[in-house]
Amino acid sequence: MKGRTDAPLDRGCLVGISFFILGLGTLLPWNFFMTASLYFQSRLSTVESGNGTEVVLEQNYFNNWMTLLSQLPLLLFTLLNSFLYQRISEMIRIGGSLVFILLLFILTAALVKVPMEGNLFFSVTLATVWFINSFGAVLQGSLFGLVGLLPQKYSTIFMSGQGLAGTFAAIAMLLAIASDADSETAALGYFITPCVGTVVTLCSYLLLPRLDFAQYYLKKSSKYEAGTTDELLQECTTENGKLNGHANGSVPSSTTKDSSPDDIEVESSLDGTRQAFLPQEQVERKQAKASVKEVFKKIWVMAFCVTFVFTVTLSVFPAVTADVRTSFPGKWERFFISVCCFLMFNINDWLGRTITTFIRWPRKESRLFPVLVVCRVVFIPLLMLCNVQPRSFLPVYFPNDAVFTAIMVVFSLSSGYFVCLSMSYAPQLVEPKDAETAGALMTFFLALGLSLGAALSFPLRTLV
């Protein structure tokens, strides 16, 4: 029996490139705000008191609040997206979210040139963080569901794009710092960059309906819908051995001796081809999806893994790691956090995600997989014992820049690797018809891990 051969090709890898850019666009908001923590803290450094003297604002927890108010809406709106999914069209959810994210980035760029009192700027910044990540959550959840309908490698491409978003933001910040422009102009150029990136992301999404390969899997083109019954027929043929189907949708005029009129009905259509129809109850059995509870029972280990990985990662990055100080003060001090914290983390996180394209160890059935994920908790005390300043309780055991950088490399590489493995393994543990449900569940637990990590960052930063 021949398989279906009518699937179009991804010509020029345009669909792959589009989903890479879409992955990049989903995490641009989070990464551009996080990487700009030094800019925000410089604007919050002093305020005028009532008697005309300057008072230094409390900055120790700015990164914590930034992280928490980024991840809480991600959790809430990822959950809300499960209801929006059926009530609001995909175009509005994805296209609308990108438009609002663009407008909020434009607002942030405009505020660079607007003098504001520190407390007001603090409130406006955190409100912007909340709303931009709310739309980002709807965007990310919708795109995870979308890419889940394509072959598995496109999920890896999508997550690879997400991993590169941080590197993109870190490089943009380095260029802004290295430029000879004044701080305001450099910050303005920095925030204009994600505006351009969001426009490119929107264009990539609008390109998908014009690509045959995407439409074949996303089921938006009636050109490919005619083969659905034939595909079901072929699946039943494999299971029951009652009928041999053909790639063009036709069937032989005779059936095997085990066939019966109740099993299969063959008719001639108006165009002369012969059509096969399955009994209604058999079609419904093939199309019925498992309940969320049943899917969760199959993927709970992967759900735990992705939650635990992000809980560990967000508990110290960037709330603790962004406050590490270099042991070589001077010009290098301007670049230290951007290079050794943000750039180092994001490059290796992206590299870890990309490695899963070639290496997948441990296997999804292995008990070693969750054990290795839990072992990542060791990075929390290791990073807290680096030269984090200011500090109140713990001593500094690793003051050297090289040690901190080495810890960050392994920390970020393992984060990207285990996250990507967890997200790609989960759909493989369920039937193909339940893959989208598994993807939606994993997105929720991903957001849960981010939120738990953000909440945990407050007590951990206090302990330092």
**pLDDT (tens digit, 9 = 90+) per residue, 267-309?**
434 344 444 444 554 544 456 778 888 989 999 999 999 999 9
Residues 317, 322, 328, CA angle at the centre, nearest 5°?
Answer: 135
- Integer Cα distance of 228 and 226 in angstroms: 6
Residue ranges of the chain that CATH labels 1.20.1250.20: 11-223
Is the domain defined by 290-464 classed in CATH 1.20.1250? yes
Give the residue among 12, 461, 28, 4 at the shortest CA–CA distance from 248: 4
Q: How many other C-beta atoms lie within 10 A of the C-beta of residue 99? A: 15
Cα–Cα distances in angstroms (integers) from residue 138 to residues 73, 311, 389, 424, in the given order: 10, 21, 36, 20
- What DSSP string describes 60-94? TTHHHHHHHHHHHHHHHHHHHHHHHHHHS-HHIII
Given a cut of 50, whether residue 244 has pLDDT beyond it is: no
CA distance 234 to 117: 68
- What top-level class would CATH report for the domain 11-223? mainly alpha
Residue 354's pLDDT band (cuts 50, 70, 90) = confident
For residue range 161-219, what is the model confidence (pLDDT) as tens digits?
887 888 888 888 888 888 877 778 888 888 898 999 999 999 999 998 888 888 888 76
- Taking the CB of residue 158, how many other CB atoms lie within 10 A of it? 27
| Nearest alpha-carbon partner for 360 in 423, 408, 409 | 423
Closest by Cα among 191, 150, 212 to 20 = 150
Name the residue with tokens 């992705």: 306
> What's the average model confidence in pLDDT over 150-169?
83
The pair of three-digit structure tokens given for residue 303, joined into one six-digit string: 């759900």
Please indicate whether residue 159 or residue 236 has the higher confidence score (pLDDT).
159
Give burial (CB, 10 Å; 0-12/13-18/19+) of 205: buried
pLDDT at 53: 41
pLDDT per residue as tens digits for the range 25-37: 988 888 888 888 7
The pTM score is 0.71
Tokens representing 412 are: 């970020």
Considering only 5-19, 98-112, 224-238, 322-336, which range has the smallest mean pLDDT? 224-238
Q: How far is CA 408 from CA 160, 167, 339, 378, 414, in A?
A: 19, 14, 11, 12, 10
Closest of 289, 225, 294 to residue 436, by C-alpha = 289
**Which residues touch 231 (CB under 8 Å, ≥6 apart)?**
4
Asked whether residue 447 carries a pLDDT value surpassing 60, the answer given is yes
- The helix-helix angle for 344-355 and 401-425 (nearest 10°) equals 40
3-state secondary structure of 27: coil
Instruction: Give the mean pLDDT of the chain.
Output: 79
